[in-house]
Structure 1
Amino acid sequence: MADIVTGQDEPVQPKAGLREVLVSLRQPKVAIAMVFGIATGMPPVMVGVTLGYWMREEGVALTAIGFMGWVGIFIATKFLWAPFVDWIRLPIIGKRLGHRRSWMLLGQIFVTVGILGMAFTGPSAGLAVFAGFAMLTSFAAATQDIAVDAWRIESALDEEQDLMASAYILGLRSGYFFGNVPILAASGIIGWQAAYAFASLGGLAGLSALLLAREPQKPRDFAPLTGIGSVGSALIRPLKVFWQDHGTGLFIFLPLVALFFLPDSLIVPMVGPLYIDLGFSTGEIAGMRTVIGFPATLGGVVAAGLIGMRLGTLTAMAIGVTLAGLSNLGFCMLALSGGSKLVWAAVTVVEGFSGGLAMAAIVAWASRLTNPIATAAQFALLSSLMSFLGGFLGGFAGLGVVALQGVTGSSMGGFAAYFSLSPFAIIPPLILIWMVRQRMKRMENAALP
């Protein structure tokens, strides 16, 4: 089988499915990778998805909810400060905990502060203050994520990358679940502010994993940044290493990473408002995501391993992005059905399965693009590209829905029209996946004697 990045021949390695991951949890670092996934998965969902439900119930306009999605811009631009997370040792805690773990701790502390700030203020205290705490949560979560990704990649041998990626994605998708479903369920009983306050306890998962984790044994140069030149060098160095490793292949790889999640990102800010406007209670939403959505997501993670083993990671990526487009059409049908529970259940299955499949496939693929001398900075760049364009365009989702509601003359007609147009976003990533395949074939043919 040819390597998905270089096209060179490599031994066929079985990809990790759920069974392999669960068995491997007896390895401490694999179990810790999953717990780190839970800790890093909760905050982005709490500020990027769950917040939309809260704000809509408070009567906030769709346009404001859409723009609020931009608080996640820090997650999409974390590559800008990732080089400093790579090469700056924090004082005191850096010596006691090690480089990667000290940055994780710093990020976790401010994530907790940000979530508690949102809990104690709420949208009613003023959107500016509320958005400020959401931005703090987003920035701190992005910093924590930089360190966790670097720890995961540096702690695994090359043949363990699929296993660690699958364990991490299981944890990450679990974090997405805990950052959404329990909060929705609790909000109907104790209110949104108390629900967010209790959700801040999710940081205990990250702290426990941090204490149990071992610092990767990678030699590092912590030369101080003494001027503008050294800062510029810190920012440029990961790009130089990328170019040395992959050359012109980056003109395909980077656009693929940037466009891969576009079908999902365009609709995420409007899914919560759609549910609320259809009259679904937070308890019903939590129940649907628990009983149907979460198992479907785990099934997608398993499928990514199985498809990758038999057909290749690129095939798993293509299937994942195609199913994402189909789930968007499902939301269109849900809006037109007036809230059919049968349609809702079907959409939830496809959405969860495609999300788990796509995420597991691209994380394993992108992890192989990095170089050990700039792990944090390079993977931060890749994961930032995954969310930046979609996150930016998703901020206009509210405007799009409102405009289409004016055109169609109905609230649900506007939602349906918007969701029916979004599947066209699968075309660019599918074309780029095909281009990567063609590049692999050319390199394989060139290598033949």
Structure 2
Amino acid sequence: MADRTRAGNIAALAALYFAQGIPFGFQATALPVFLRASGVSLAGVGFAGALALPWVAKALWAPLVDRFGWERIGRRRSWILPLGALLALTCAAAAFVPPSRHLGALLALVFLMNLLAATQDIAVDGLAIDLLGRGELGLANAAQVVGYKAGMLVAGGLLVWASAWIGWRGQFGAMAALVLLSTLASLALREPPAGEIEARDRRSLREVLATVLAALRAPGALWVVAFLGTYKLGESIVDVMFKPFLVDAGFPPHRIGLWVGTYGLVASIAGSLAGGLLAHRLPLLAAVGVSSALRSFAMAGEWYLAAAGTPTAGAVIAVTVAEHLFGGAVTTTVFAFMMSRVRRSVGATHYTLLASVEVLGKSPAVWASGVLAERLGYAALFALCTGISFAFLVLLVPLRERKTGEERA
């Protein structure tokens, strides 16, 4: 019975994360194609990336999700259900504003989709922390990452492909239906009642913020922040510059799209599942260390391709699959470790804050990646990034030696 309950919880959480991957998958993958096809300039296509800002800034309103909620429906569910319904309605509205005729309205709706999905993500993360025990985090975070990536794949790939037959309205109608059905999965989850400590820490916004600040001042907490802000620096730079490297090496865009966008994404999903199993069978910090080391070795393959001259198609595919496989494993193990270090009473706010650190930590490096590639060359840049990835494994040592105040208690 316990195993069936756990499997049901994880499946329902995967469905909720799938719903949140749909708007971001469309915005990150499909929207640039539609914008360019409608005559939008390259600068405009690039600026459209700012529509994802709610995912970066969501920590600013996460305390509201922890503080408020209707206990009769479920404190987390009272956010998840209305936000999911609004997200489905927004997708349905976008069906009537194609970029060729209503570009401004479409961009506003995509921004609203990201805002609603990012806010729902706060509540779902909080619900996951409320429901799951430490031994369940590996499998649950595999469901989190795979569900989200599957939503991105459907909205950014499959539905765009199907739009040749179902049209613009059919594409967004399908997105709306999938979001609504996935959100209803929250009805299958039984939220645990708030304990005395949780109720005390959430009595007011001031209490929520004070509890989060106390958690960040706990022994070892700053080492967690330092690791989360740096562990993807090297990988993020290489991921951005590897595709231009392949273009400059003479490979056509359609092959790059197949190798990186399809083979790579499938390998990333497989790696996320493997990372979940690894985190389930090993101590979480050990799982992070193993997957991070393997990811760094895979990045050395990209360095080798750049240094060796003209790479072969087989070598590119092998390196791409390996890097995405181990990169997916790292994401799952790190998210599971991150979830294990949050203060449960304000889990939505604390986890969202740590997730924002993870995004913000790698962003400046991504922005500067082109300048670095121009000055250093691909081979030297990839070598530097590989070295950075190995070097930051040292930050795992203080994480092993120190525990948070909550863990000691």
* Length-normalised TM-score, structure 2: 0.78
Distance (whole Å) between structure 2 residues aligned to residue 218 and residue 431 of structure 1: 41
Q: Tell me what 2:288 maps to.
A: 314
Tell me, yes or no, if the aligned pair for 1:77 and 1:388 is still in contact at 8 Å: no
Instruction: Provide closer, same or farther for how the CA distance between residues 68 and 106 of structure 1 changes in structure 2, counting only shifts above 3 A.
Output: same
Amino acid at match of 1:254: V
Amino acid at match of 2:227: L
Q: Tell me what 1:185 maps to.
A: 161
Instruction: Provide closer, same or farther for how the CA distance between residues 174 and 343 of structure 1 changes in structure 2, counting only shifts above 3 A.
Output: same
Q: Tell me what 1:12 maps to.
A: none
Instruction: Provide closer, same or farther for how the CA distance between residues 418 and 145 of structure 1 changes in structure 2, counting only shifts above 3 A.
Output: farther
CA deviations on 1:80-106 (whole Å, 9 max, x unpaired) are: 1111100112xxxx2542110111113
Residues 1:431 and 2:391 aligned together: yes
Residues 1:373 and 2:373 aligned together: no
Q: Tell me what 1:4 maps to.
A: none
Distance (whole Å) between structure 1 residues aligned to residue 380 and residue 394 of structure 2: 24
What stretches of structure 2 of length at least 5 have no aligned partner?
A: 404-409
Tell me, yes or no, if the aligned pair for 2:140 and 2:276 is still in contact at 8 Å: no
Instruction: Provide closer, same or farther for how the CA distance between residues 118 and 391 of structure 1 changes in structure 2, counting only shifts above 3 A.
Output: farther
Aligned counterparts, 1:25-44, within 5 A: 27-44=7-24
Instruction: Provide closer, same or farther for how the CA distance between residues 324 and 128 of structure 1 changes in structure 2, counting only shifts above 3 A.
Output: farther
CA deviations on 1:265-319 (whole Å, 9 max, x unpaired) are: 55778899999994529xx9579856x3454234313432455546822323423
Q: Tell me what 1:258 maps to.
A: 229
Q: Tell me what 2:216 maps to.
A: 242
Distance (whole Å) between structure 1 residues aligned to residue 349 and residue 317 of structure 2: 40
Tell me, yes or no, if the aligned pair for 1:49 and 1:269 is still in contact at 8 Å: no
Distance (whole Å) between structure 1 residues aligned to residue 261 and residue 23 of structure 2: 18
Residues 1:280 and 2:254 aligned together: yes
Distance (whole Å) between structure 1 residues aligned to residue 190 and residue 110 of structure 2: 31
CA deviations on 1:375-432 (whole Å, 9 max, x unpaired) are: 11101111112223434665677xx48x98xx79xxxxxxx96798467455555433
Amino acid at match of 2:88: T
Count of equivalent residues: 392
Amino acid at match of 1:375: G
Tell me, yes or no, if the aligned pair for 2:202 and 2:346 is still in contact at 8 Å: no
Q: Tell me what 1:88 maps to.
A: 68
Distance (whole Å) between structure 2 residues aligned to residue 332 and residue 70 of structure 1: 31
Amino acid at match of 2:151: G
CA shift at 1:372, angstroms? Answer: 1.4
Q: Secondary structure at the match of 1:180?
A: helix
Distance (whole Å) between structure 2 residues aligned to residue 120 and residue 425 of structure 1: 44
Residues 1:63 and 2:43 aligned together: yes
Residues 1:161 and 2:140 aligned together: no
Distance (whole Å) between structure 2 residues aligned to residue 242 and residue 285 of structure 1: 41
Q: Pairwise CA RMSD of aligned residues?
A: 4.1
Tell me, yes or no, if the aligned pair for 2:90 and 2:112 is still in contact at 8 Å: yes
Tell me, yes or no, if the aligned pair for 2:67 and 2:205 is still in contact at 8 Å: no
CA deviations on 1:330-356 (whole Å, 9 max, x unpaired) are: 9979xx87xx86566445523541342
Aligned counterparts, 1:410-421, within 5 A: 421=381
Distance (whole Å) between structure 2 residues aligned to residue 176 and residue 28 of structure 1: 23
| 1:131 counterpart (107, 110, 125) | 107
Distance (whole Å) between structure 1 residues aligned to residue 87 and residue 207 of structure 2: 29
Q: Secondary structure at the match of 1:124?
A: coil
Tell me, yes or no, if the aligned pair for 1:161 and 1:367 is still in contact at 8 Å: yes
Tell me, yes or no, if the aligned pair for 2:227 and 2:395 is still in contact at 8 Å: no
Amino acid at match of 1:213: L
Instruction: Provide closer, same or farther for how the CA distance between residues 355 and 201 of structure 1 changes in structure 2, counting only shifts above 3 A.
Output: farther
Instruction: Provide closer, same or farther for how the CA distance between residues 255 and 395 of structure 1 changes in structure 2, counting only shifts above 3 A.
Output: same
Tell me, yes or no, if the aligned pair for 2:146 and 2:273 is still in contact at 8 Å: no
| 2:126 counterpart (130, 134, 150) | 150
Tell me, yes or no, if the aligned pair for 1:86 and 1:374 is still in contact at 8 Å: yes
Distance (whole Å) between structure 2 residues aligned to residue 380 and residue 100 of structure 1: 14
Distance (whole Å) between structure 2 residues aligned to residue 78 and residue 166 of structure 1: 22
CA deviations on 1:251-278 (whole Å, 9 max, x unpaired) are: 3211221233345555778899999994
Q: Tell me what 1:17 maps to.
A: none
Q: Tell me what 1:359 maps to.
A: 331
Instruction: Provide closer, same or farther for how the CA distance between residues 331 and 102 of structure 1 changes in structure 2, counting only shifts above 3 A.
Output: farther
Tell me, yes or no, if the aligned pair for 1:330 and 1:343 is still in contact at 8 Å: no
Between the aligned residues of both structures, percent identity stands at 24
Residues 1:296 and 2:274 aligned together: no
Amino acid at match of 2:115: F
Q: Tell me what 1:210 maps to.
A: 186
Distance (whole Å) between structure 1 residues aligned to residue 94 and residue 383 of structure 2: 33
CA shift at 1:237, angstroms? Answer: 2.9
Instruction: Provide closer, same or farther for how the CA distance between residues 324 and 343 of structure 1 changes in structure 2, counting only shifts above 3 A.
Output: closer
Distance (whole Å) between structure 2 residues aligned to residue 393 and residue 54 of structure 1: 28
